[in-house]
Amino acid sequence: MPNAQTVRLALRRLGKQPGFALLAVLTLAVGIGPTTAVYAVFRQVLLRELPVHKPGEFLLLAQQSAYDTGSLNSYGGSQELYFAAPAYRTLRAAVPQLAAIARQPVNFATATEALQVNAQLVSGNYFSLLAERPALGRLFNDEDDRIHAANPVALLSESFWRSHFSASPAVLNLRVAVNGVLFTIVGVVPDEGFMGAAEPVSLFVPEAMQQAISLGRPDTEDDPLARWLLVLGRVPAGSARAQLESRLNGSWIAWRREVLHTRADKISNPAGWMKTSLHLTSGARGITLLKQRLGTPVLVLQAMAALVLLVTCANIASLLLARAAAQRSEMAVRACLGASRSEIVRSTITDALLLGGAGTAAGVALGWACLHLLLHMFAESDNYLVAALAAPWHWSVLLVAASAGVLTSLLFSLGPAVAHARVSPGEVLHSSHGVVGGTAARARGVMVAATIAGSLVLLLGASLMGWNLYRLSTTSPGFTPNHLLTFQVDESATGASRQRTAEVYTGLLASIAHERGVSTAAYAHEGLLSGDQMGSNISVAGRPNKDNDLEPNQNWVSAGFFKTLGVPVLRGREFADADTAASEPIAVVDQAFVRAFFDGDASRALGQHFGFGSGSTTSYPIRIVGVVPTIHEDSMHSLPSVPYLYLAYPQTYGKQSFFGNRHAAHFYIRTAGDPATFAADMRLLVHRADPRLPVLDLATMQEQVSGSIADTRLLAILSSALGVLAASLAAVGLYEVLAYQVTTRRREIGLRMAVGASRARVVRLLLGQMLRLTAGGLGAGALLALGAARLLASSMADLVPAPPLLYLGAALLLLLTALVAALVPARRAARVEPMEALRME
Amino acid sequence: MIALKQIERSYKTGAAQTFVLRNINLTIREGDFVTVMGPSGAGKSSLLNVLALLDDEWRGEYSLDGEQVHALSRKGRAELARRRIGMVFQSYHLLDDLTVAENIDLPLSYKNLPRAERQAMVADTLDRFQIVGKKDLYPSQLSGGQQQLVGIARAVIHSPALLLADEPTGNLHSAQAAEIMQLFRTLNEQGTTIVQVTHSELNATYGRRILELRDGWLTRDTAPAQGASGVHAS
Ligand SMILES: Nc1ncnc2c1ncn2[C@@H]1O[C@H](COP(=O)(O)OP(=O)(O)OP(=O)(O)O)[C@@H](O)[C@H]1O
Ligand SMILES: [Mg+2]
């Protein structure tokens, strides 16, 4: 290991070449910064464990069955993780260290404010299983399980308590309305729930209260065919998991058999129903919603950042090799004076470690700054991206930065160390003719080619992402997003009756339409581009169902919806005020629907009847009155994969959505001027309609559209930045190598001129060198990119390949950069005066 | 073949101007073998550089083979040098990563010659200098004398009319030097005009005419003065 003396000497050496040291530190920072920043996000999205005591001890139960039936209410994660409440109770009787949880977004209203928050329903033993202590008041216990539906107590999460109640102890015994039902706050708990940073939980209520806040959904507490609970367990390290698993399987199979008996009418495949097993999966990270949404893009980014780090390594290695060549005579003199090889190698490594340390520190600072910049840029986009970018700088992030620094410095000091170790004392006696380290020069060439290869891969990646962003941002959503404002309210979630809900929406719509500057307004149950969908199978009158019939998604929309959104009605008409609950049920369908059920013939679809469900008892009450184009209902990335049908909102109050009687309303307001200026008015109007009604997702439609492609934009921006970074590094590396060549090959260049080479010829010599390195790099890069493209195509199916010309352009850009980098040394070579260069040494 | 009229060459050193060649008037006939002598720093190399057209910054008149060099462009001079002049250096200046054959081929590679013709010329020259067996060796594998042999072979491969040599035997011991000088004499007999710089009286005996430079002045010329090319004694 280097001692103080070696370090002092190394510092002095570096101090004598501040330009070199600065360049090396900056280059390293540029390599380590992105790697560190992306790793912080990577950890947040893919590795972060729940902030609980010993997260590694947590398990999530998963079931695998050949056949299942009944309903499933999922809010993320694999479907295998969801259990019916009776199943949980049976399993818990066999293994006490199990708890159950579920998530539900709820309306949360105090006397002064109303919000939509995430609530987590938990079994009474949840907190004792987590070994959590209340920050205030009490937590739940087994008692809270017992009083089915009559125990309206709630806990606040500590962060919600701090942000919304200023950490006031007065929240204890406060009465709040949760989905319109009064609850008493009995405590505050330092827990953020099981869904990770993307969906932090603000409120905990006993799982036994599920029915009270479910807005009219049937009580599933005793329904063995309604799966909605996650079952988690805690197994101390070292105890026998296999044993636990078999015990659980025993009671699981017994329970399935019992259900098979009691619910025989509902289970059409008894053999498949019994072909089932339970297994334990890790619960250390909870339900990884962030990973599901952003896992692949973040992985891609991490790979790109790693590539930049490699490019940086190659670049610095080349820099240090040049310095090693320059220091060769110093090393030879030292070898003459009796320095051992190991001492010489040690001093080289000390140099590298010092540079590595400084570069790492600068890189961490750079990465931190970049991440904050990104967070600032994307603060408005969506909470998943924000949650990912708001990654904390955990010690492991710093560890990654430090190991990247140490590893790269050791790696890049290897070349120079070997070069130095080979210096023999005898070399001092020879004055070399500028053939310093032929192998070192070749090694530098390889390094430069490698940086070019890496840059090409990154630039091609950037082209791909850039193209996808371009395509998405130029894709018409199918409606006209400018001059459109949107927000969401949900009167039904305040516990209001259907009639009251309908009145509030109608009144609100009327008051909005009266605003000066508003041309039209409408509302729909599902928000456009929100990703939420509801669908069910249908049967068309006079058309036999087929096995491969698609299940259309549906949305419920008010009169004038299509006009407000700027969607043309291709055939027939859209909904009007006259379409009420009392009038004939009607629907508007999209072109995909016409293709799926009427062979694409819109005129045939008009006037036809259909009904929901299938089978002999199906009726066909709904008449098709209009056909509209297929629009980007749920995502900008692709058109819906299934047909869409639209029902008249007033005719849907008898229907149940996934959340029972929930009838949300996404309002769309077409304005004359800048829609953003109407935001405050909208809040005011909603407040007048119902002071307890929270306004959600208030934004212009343009913001929504660009928000829905924010992850693609992030990828495009970051990959371009990394690509440009790597290309600049490659250019700097190429410039250095060529400039160094011109210096060391002055004599050769002079001689070539003296025996007849023209200046143009000398320039060509240098450019030829550049071309060879660049071509080698481009070739290798293209091969690497092909491999990377394979991987990408399999993991990011949404991506469409860019036109080949764009890729060619990226390669040309790199070539051009290389040319510019070579121009200065080439011109310097052309200015060599043979007479000067050949002056006797 | 060569006529120099009032050639002057100076370097700016700070504010002052240092003359290294002063008022040089000189005629060299085709087939001559001239030796330039004089103390260190007298301007011998400077004169040779002017003759070789490597230097552009002199004043005066220089005609080579009837071409008025002073009136030629930089490119024109380079072209003229490429055709008519060969140079031999004290430290050989062979390229270390080229083989003997490739080093010899170098001047040809800068002319538009067909490949076959070039190969024939290289083979011919290797033969003439009796270094065929060494053609695939690298300079570092040769002795000093052999390296200079290659240097000369490279200088004459394109059959220049004028061969310029700056202390060609400066790094060689006497036996090797004698060999090189013998080679020069042979080349001269075959018609090449030679101008060599040397400190060696012995080497000078191979030539037919001796010039002496002192402080940039041409102070002695063993050739009979003729017309304007005579020596202007200081
Ligand atoms: N590039 C230059 N800048 C300034 N002065 C120069 C330069 N080149 C040569 N000189 C000067 O010109 C003078 C003549 O130099 P030159 O090389 O022609 O001498 P020389 O007669 O060849 O000497 P030697 O026998 O040592 O080779 C010297 O005083 C030298 O210092
Ligand atoms: Mg000289």
Q: A754 touching B, CB under 8 A?
A: yes
The rounded distance, in Å, linking the Cα atoms of A783 and A789 is 10
* A residues 427..446 contacting B (CB < 8 A): 433, 435, 438
Average pLDDT estimate for A504-508:
94
pLDDT value at residue B117: 93
Interchain proximity B107–A755, CB inside 8 Å: yes
- Contact at 8 Å (CB) between A387 and A44? yes
In this structure, what token pair is assigned to residue A529? 């581009």
pLDDT value at residue A421: 64
Please choose, from the candidates A486, A488, A495, A509, the residue with its C-alpha nearest in 3D space to the C-alpha of residue A662: A495
pLDDT value at residue A692: 81
Considering only CB atoms, A840 lies closest to which of B90, B97, B110, namely: B90
Q: What is the pLDDT of residues B87-123, one digit of tens each?
A: 999 888 898 888 999 999 999 988 888 999 999 999 9
Q: Give A722 Cα–ligand 2 centroid separation in angstroms.
A: 55
Chain A residue with CA closest to B158: the answer is: A755
pLDDT value at residue A335: 67
Q: Is B41 in the pocket of ligand 1 (CB under 6 A)?
A: yes
pLDDT at position B219 over 60: yes
Q: B44 touching A, CB under 8 A?
A: no
Interchain proximity A755–B52, CB inside 8 Å: no
Q: What is the pLDDT of residues B4-55, one digit of tens each?
A: 999 999 998 888 889 999 999 999 999 999 999 999 999 999 999 999 998 8
Write down the pTM of the prediction: 0.79
Q: How far is CA B46 from the centre of its chain?
A: 12
- The amino acid at residue A96 is P
pLDDT band at A656 (very low <50, low <70, confident <90, very high): low
Classified as helix, coil or strand, A743 is helix
Residue A758: its chain B contacts at CB < 8 A?
A: 75, 78, 110
Q: A760 touching B, CB under 8 A?
A: no
A295-325: b or e for each residue (b if 16 or more CB lie within 10 Å)?
A: bbbbbbbbbbbbbbbbbbbbbbbbbbbbbbb
pLDDT band at A841 (very low <50, low <70, confident <90, very high): very low
pLDDT at position A401 over 60: yes
DSSP state of A426: G
pLDDT at position A407 over 90: no
Q: Which of A179-183, A309-313, B31-35 has the highest mean pLDDT?
A: B31-35
Q: Is B40 in the pocket of ligand 1 (CB under 6 A)?
A: yes
CA end-to-end span of chain A, whole Å? 41
Classified as helix, coil or strand, A244 is helix
Classified as helix, coil or strand, A152 is coil
The rounded distance, in Å, linking the Cα atoms of B171 and B176 is 10
pLDDT at position A113 over 90: no
Considering only CB atoms, B54 lies closest to which of A435, A747, A835, namely: A835
Q: Given the structure tokens 């990270």, which residue do they identify?
A: A285
Chain A residue with CA closest to B53: the answer is: A754
Interchain proximity B110–A758, CB inside 8 Å: yes
More confident residue, A706 or B194: B194
Interchain proximity B89–A747, CB inside 8 Å: no
Burial (CB count <10 Å: 0-12, 13-18, 19+), residue A502: buried
Q: A793 touching B, CB under 8 A?
A: no
ipTM: 0.88
- Index of the ligand 1 atom closest to the CA of residue B49: 18
pLDDT value at residue A13: 77
pLDDT at position A390 over 90: no
Chain A residue with CA closest to B79: the answer is: A756
Q: What is the pLDDT of residues A313-329, one digit of tens each?
A: 888 888 777 777 767 66
How many CB atoms sit inside 10 A of residue A355's CB?
27
| Nearby residues of A547 by Cβ (< 8 Å), 6 or more positions away | none
| Nearby residues of A47 by Cβ (< 8 Å), 6 or more positions away | A285
pLDDT at position A836 over 90: no
Mean per-residue pLDDT of chain A: 86
- Contact at 8 Å (CB) between A384 and A294? yes
Q: Give B45 Cα–ligand 1 centroid separation in angstroms.
A: 7
Question: Nearest 10 degrees: CA dihedral of A549, A554, A560, A565?
Answer: -90
Q: In angstroms, what separates the C-alpha of B232 from chain A's closest C-alpha? A: 28
Contacts by A511-515, CB closer than 8 A, 24 or more apart: A511/A685, A511/A688, A511/A689, A512/A667, A512/A669, A512/A682, A512/A685, A515/A678, A515/A681, A515/A685
pLDDT value at residue B232: 44
Q: Is B194 in the pocket of ligand 1 (CB under 6 A)?
A: no
Count CA atoms closer than 13 A to B179's CA, side-chain side. Answer: 14
Q: B11 touching A, CB under 8 A?
A: no
Which residue's CA lies nearest to atom 3 of ligand 1? B11
Q: What is the pLDDT of residues A734-770, one digit of tens each?
A: 888 888 888 878 888 888 988 888 888 889 988 888 8
pLDDT value at residue A684: 92
Interchain proximity A756–B111, CB inside 8 Å: yes
pLDDT at position B229 over 70: no
pLDDT value at residue A534: 75
pLDDT value at residue B210: 95
pLDDT value at residue A660: 61
pLDDT at position A399 over 70: yes
More confident residue, A145 or A359: A359
pLDDT at position A433 over 90: no
Q: Give A831 Cα–ligand 2 centroid separation in angstroms.
A: 23
How many CB atoms sit inside 10 A of residue A369's CB?
12
The rounded distance, in Å, linking the Cα atoms of A35 and A408 is 12
Residue ranges of alpha helices (H) inside chain B are 44-51, 74-84, 100-109, 115-128, 144-156, 174-189, 201-204
pLDDT value at residue A314: 84
pLDDT at position B202 over 60: yes
Q: A394 touching B, CB under 8 A?
A: no
Classified as helix, coil or strand, A99 is strand
| Nearby residues of A270 by Cβ (< 8 Å), 6 or more positions away | A260, A264
How many CB atoms sit inside 10 A of residue A110's CB?
16
pLDDT value at residue A434: 34
Q: What is the pLDDT of residues A707-730, one digit of tens each?
A: 888 888 888 999 999 999 999 988
The rounded distance, in Å, linking the Cα atoms of A573 and A586 is 11
Q: What is the pLDDT of residues A774-808, one digit of tens each?
A: 999 999 999 999 998 888 888 887 788 889 999 99
- Contact at 8 Å (CB) between A350 and A2? yes
The share of chain B scoring above pLDDT 70, in percent, equals: 95
Q: What is the pLDDT of residues A28-68, one digit of tens each?
A: 899 999 999 999 999 988 888 888 888 888 899 999 988 88
How many CB atoms sit inside 10 A of residue B221's CB?
18
3-class SS shares of chain B: helix, strand, coil, % to 5: 40, 25, 35
The rounded distance, in Å, linking the Cα atoms of A374 and A128 is 39
Interchain proximity B106–A755, CB inside 8 Å: yes
Lowest mean pLDDT among A31-35, A695-699, B223-227: B223-227
For ligand 2, a single-atom ion, which residues have Cβ within 5 Å? B 45
